[in-house]
Structure 1
Amino acid sequence: MRRTIGLALAAGLLLSSCALSGTTTETRDPVDAEGEVTGEVSLQTWALKPRFTEYVEGVIAAFEEEYPGTSVTWLDQPGEGYSEKVLSQATAGELPDVTNLPPDMALPLAREGVLLDLGQVEDDLAATYVEGGLGAYAFAGLDGTYGYPWYLTTDLNYWNADMMAAGGLDAADPPTSFDELVAQARTLKDATGAYLMSRKPGMNDLVSNGIPVLSDDGEEFVFNSPEAVALVERYAEAYADGLMPQDVLTDAYLGNSELFTKGEAAWSTGGGNFIAGVLENNPSLEGTIVPSPYMGITPMYVQGVSVPAASKNLPAALALARFLTNAENQEAFAELVPGIFPSTVASQDNPSFSESDGTAEGDAKVIAFTGLPDAEVLQPVEVTEAMSTYFDQQVAAAIAGQITAQQALDAAVAKCNQLLAD
């Protein structure tokens, strides 16, 4: 499921070059969503068949029972090529009444006036959904909210207790800041030669440390600040001191979670069901993995549903979107999918998510779930794959000592702003 949560897509670039069927935010008319909830309405999801067919069909049947006279047509699109499918639908004015859109795909549609600003028709969004989930659909430079958050996940820290103990460290008292992480990485390396740190920073790490990446109006990137430079310099120092694997900057790098799974690094980050995936690939780590809260601002990954402004049946579309994302239906979905959580405020006290069964896996689930109210989407949805790639290349060069951190971030900001303006 993580594939469809927070996945960076090229939809923004595709949509920027096409004329979409919608009304620009500057010229949109007031929305009239009053009326009887009846008639035909369409729902589009992303790669939920066949695994979740029974669940979705059950939600649809319950909706039709609650609103007699309604008829829901369910369209489920394959995972591959979904952004292109949404683009063609939007261009033709055929976007389904309720469409599953992650924030990065919703952004260009919202900018073109294709999506309904829910603030025009809803009074209690903030009381219904967690702040970070709603915030994912409130875009820089635009007024309004353009999606109902559906299901969420987040990241937390995982520590290899045996590796840490061998270096005199305690996984039950892990680092809670970057400075503590570097200090314990040095302790472990000096004592055993093993690695605690095993990845370079991304844009999300800047935001997690309270460093702005994008201006408030969404018109320019600003991550070449003194604070960002200092963070990259700290990573460069750690790399130069041998606190990270040499190939962390090369194409041979396996990835942080892979090194953790192989027992070659004592720290990783992952979602609430991370432990199950690790043990499936390396059962010998059973009993050695200890979870803890994420350092800094906790990342949130969001899926949601949006309603096109041009829907021919707005009363039914809005009712269906609310019904799909209500607490009862979200909680039932989360019970089926380990690692995802409901976005509803009413679900925060549900013991199924807020109480551990005493296992490390149960503790991880609770840590992930209880972190959601304060979690945020860290990397701005304006960031494209090309931007991320260039940022990573420049930061890698700085960490390797080939250029300064200031030079790297200045170059990355210039490139990202160029791509943003294109």
Structure 2
Amino acid sequence: MTITRIGAAGTALAVVAALGGCTLDGGGATDPDGGAQDVTGEVTLQTWSLKPRFTEYVEGVIADFEQEYPGTEVTWLDQPGDGYSDTVLAQAAAGELPDVTNLPPDFALTLAREGLLTDLTTVDDTLEDTYVPGALAAYRYAGLEGTFGFPWYLTTDLNYWNTAMFQEAGLDAGSPPTSLDELVAQARIMHDATGGYLMSRKPGVGDFAAAGIPVLSDDGTELTFNSPEAAELLDVYRDAYAEGLMPDDVLTDAYLGNSQLFAEGKVAWSTGGGNFINSVLETNPALEGQITSSPYMGATPLYVQGLSVSNTSTNLPTAVALARFVTNAVNQEAFSAEVPGVFPSTAASQENPDLARSDGTPQGDAKAIAFSNLTTARVLQPVEISEAMTTVINQQLAAAITGDKTSAEALDAAVAECNKLLADQ
């Protein structure tokens, strides 16, 4: 068996991976014919960089599981953050994949293609009722039948605005842009009035998806974002860049990044998770009282962590029961109470007023906005897009924005090259 390299998770996922959680009410596993199976015996649970910060939490969940199911014994393995994908690949190649493994959707895809993960629809008929749609869809892949992960914990993005920069430009941060056209119009006003920047990042595939533009064929064999609609969106960024509405180095290696520039008070807009405002204020306390938030423009991106069950587990009923227990509503809600900006994937949790309510602070408002969009948020950039494809896409989009190519030419070139890479996966 040959296992290809797992693609790197996105930046937001890398942040989420440093956190941990749990989900759904426990229950006996079922076989494909619907019969109950005994939950007993030994299983292994592997997480991603949760020690030592969440040792007490995870050990508590394991203890509760073992009490709920007498005769079970869980061995907890926690792997370092660096090189985690290589560790999982090595385990899979050696036939030593743990019974239950923490895998984000892009990591799980590679193993699902190799037939190494259990299709959870064959062991759990409550998935649709248990988890929010976007989180469950993250573990369903074009061209594959099945669902290959129990969603665990989530983050999503929203908009953040620098109110002081808005006020200086004569703009109302209480009525920020809600569309790309409005963003460009207010960026022009700000730049003309103060020389400051509202726009400070180039677009990506996620922006096409957020605008409702198809980016991957239904069977997963072709990327499709070289459409007239995508070219039109890219033209908007090209024109804004030519007009000087974005920093000159936004397309170069010297670019510090939209989030960092926002944290330094140098640009007036950034996107980030529900806890992004806290990290900004830790970096730059001078921005206290100068940040407000609003819902993401277009479809809201979702970042997901989950638990997958090995298809070669010698104790499948207990492995399934453990994954379901760790991801039950009670456990997930307890975890989100500890970690701002991380939310449960369980549908029942979306009615929890403690999670939905703001305490009236900018931080509380951001958390409430992020939480309110979980039921409709979805993974925007297909997990089939590898690091190599991302490099190609970035190069071609930069060529379009600088005017070296037309948007249509750049998108055609990006899709053609990426589809060659996709065919080799």
TM-score (norm 1): 0.93
8 A Cα contact 1:5 1:302, kept in partner: no
Instruction: Write the distance in 2 (CA, Å) between the matches of 1:201 and 1:232.
Output: 7
Task: Find the partner of 2:241 among 239, 242, 267.
Answer: 239
Q: Which runs of 4+ in 1 moved over 2 A?
A: 2-8, 29-34
8 A Cα contact 1:33 1:314, kept in partner: no
Give the aligned partner of residue 402 of structure 2.
Answer: 400
Counterpart AA for 1:177: S
Task: Find the partner of 1:329 among 324, 328, 331.
Answer: 331
Q: Please state if 1:199 is matched with 2:206.
A: no
Offset of residue 282 of structure 1 = 1.0
Instruction: Write the distance in 2 (CA, Å) between the matches of 1:145 and 1:282.
Output: 42
Give the aligned partner of residue 83 of structure 2.
Answer: 81
Question: Helix, strand or coil for the counterpart of 1:374?
Answer: coil
Instruction: Write the distance in 1 (CA, Å) between the matches of 2:416 and 2:14.
Output: 24
> What are the residue-to-residue correspondences of 1:299-378 with 2, within 5 Å?
299-378=301-380
Offset of residue 71 of structure 1 = 0.4
Offset of residue 80 of structure 1 = 1.1
Task: Find the partner of 1:6 among 13, 34, 58.
Answer: 13
Change (3 A) 1:124 1:416: same
Residues 254-300 of structure 1 deviation map (CA, whole Å, 9 limit, x = unaligned):
10011111111110000101111111111111001001000000000
Give the aligned partner of residue 19 of structure 1.
Answer: none
Instruction: Write the distance in 2 (CA, Å) between the matches of 1:92 and 1:392.
Output: 36
Give the aligned partner of residue 386 of structure 1.
Answer: 388
Tell me the percent identity.
Answer: 68
Instruction: Write the distance in 2 (CA, Å) between the matches of 1:238 and 1:124.
Output: 48
Residues 321-347 of structure 1 deviation map (CA, whole Å, 9 limit, x = unaligned):
010000011111112222110000111
Task: Find the partner of 2:155 among 153, 158, 164.
Answer: 153
Q: Please state if 1:60 is matched with 2:55.
A: no
Give the aligned partner of residue 165 of structure 2.
Answer: 163
8 A Cα contact 2:238 2:402, kept in partner: yes
Q: Please state if 1:297 is matched with 2:304.
A: no
Residues 347-392 of structure 1 deviation map (CA, whole Å, 9 limit, x = unaligned):
1122221000000000000000111100000100001111111101
8 A Cα contact 1:41 1:316, kept in partner: yes
Change (3 A) 1:273 1:394: same
TM-score (norm 2): 0.92
Offset of residue 4 of structure 1 = 7.9
Residues 101-133 of structure 1 deviation map (CA, whole Å, 9 limit, x = unaligned):
000010011111110111111111111000000
Instruction: Write the distance in 1 (CA, Å) between the matches of 2:412 and 2:32.
Output: 43
Residues 48-81 of structure 1 deviation map (CA, whole Å, 9 limit, x = unaligned):
0011000000000000000000000000011111
Instruction: Write the distance in 1 (CA, Å) between the matches of 2:83 and 2:321.
Output: 28
Give the aligned partner of residue 111 of structure 1.
Answer: 113
8 A Cα contact 1:33 1:315, kept in partner: no
Give the aligned partner of residue 104 of structure 2.
Answer: 102
Instruction: Write the distance in 2 (CA, Å) between the matches of 1:188 and 1:163.
Output: 8
Counterpart AA for 2:77: L
Instruction: Write the distance in 2 (CA, Å) between the matches of 1:7 and 1:332.
Output: 22
Instruction: Write the distance in 2 (CA, Å) between the matches of 1:352 and 1:387.
Output: 41
Unmatched tracts of structure 1, length 5 or more:
9-28
Counterpart AA for 1:6: L
Instruction: Write the distance in 2 (CA, Å) between the matches of 1:191 and 1:240.
Output: 18
Instruction: Write the distance in 2 (CA, Å) between the matches of 1:245 and 1:189.
Output: 11
Instruction: Write the distance in 2 (CA, Å) between the matches of 1:256 and 1:74.
Output: 38
Question: Helix, strand or coil for the counterpart of 1:287?
Answer: coil
Aligned residues: 401
Give the aligned partner of residue 72 of structure 1.
Answer: 74
Give the aligned partner of residue 421 of structure 2.
Answer: 419
Instruction: Write the distance in 1 (CA, Å) between the matches of 2:10 and 2:81.
Output: 9
Question: Helix, strand or coil for the counterpart of 1:383?
Answer: coil
Instruction: Write the distance in 2 (CA, Å) between the matches of 1:372 and 1:299.
Output: 9
Residues 301-327 of structure 1 deviation map (CA, whole Å, 9 limit, x = unaligned):
000000011111111111100100000
Task: Find the partner of 1:209 among 201, 208, 211.
Answer: 211
Instruction: Write the distance in 2 (CA, Å) between the matches of 1:299 and 1:383.
Output: 16
Give the aligned partner of residue 23 of structure 1.
Answer: none
Q: Please state if 1:281 is matched with 2:283.
A: yes
Change (3 A) 1:310 1:68: same
8 A Cα contact 1:5 1:102, kept in partner: no
Instruction: Write the distance in 1 (CA, Å) between the matches of 2:317 and 2:77.
Output: 19
Residues 383-408 of structure 1 deviation map (CA, whole Å, 9 limit, x = unaligned):
11111111011111110111111111
8 A Cα contact 2:32 2:123, kept in partner: no
Instruction: Write the distance in 2 (CA, Å) between the matches of 1:292 and 1:4.
Output: 21
Residues 12-33 of structure 1 deviation map (CA, whole Å, 9 limit, x = unaligned):
xxxxxxxxxxxxxxxxx96888
Instruction: Write the distance in 1 (CA, Å) between the matches of 2:133 and 2:204.
Output: 24
Counterpart AA for 2:281: L
Offset of residue 190 of structure 1 = 1.3
8 A Cα contact 2:208 2:230, kept in partner: yes
Offset of residue 175 of structure 1 = 0.7
Counterpart AA for 2:13: G
Give the aligned partner of residue 25 of structure 2.
Answer: none
Give the aligned partner of residue 261 of structure 2.
Answer: 259
Give the aligned partner of residue 38 of structure 1.
Answer: 40
Question: Helix, strand or coil for the counterpart of 1:348?
Answer: helix
Counterpart AA for 1:300: L
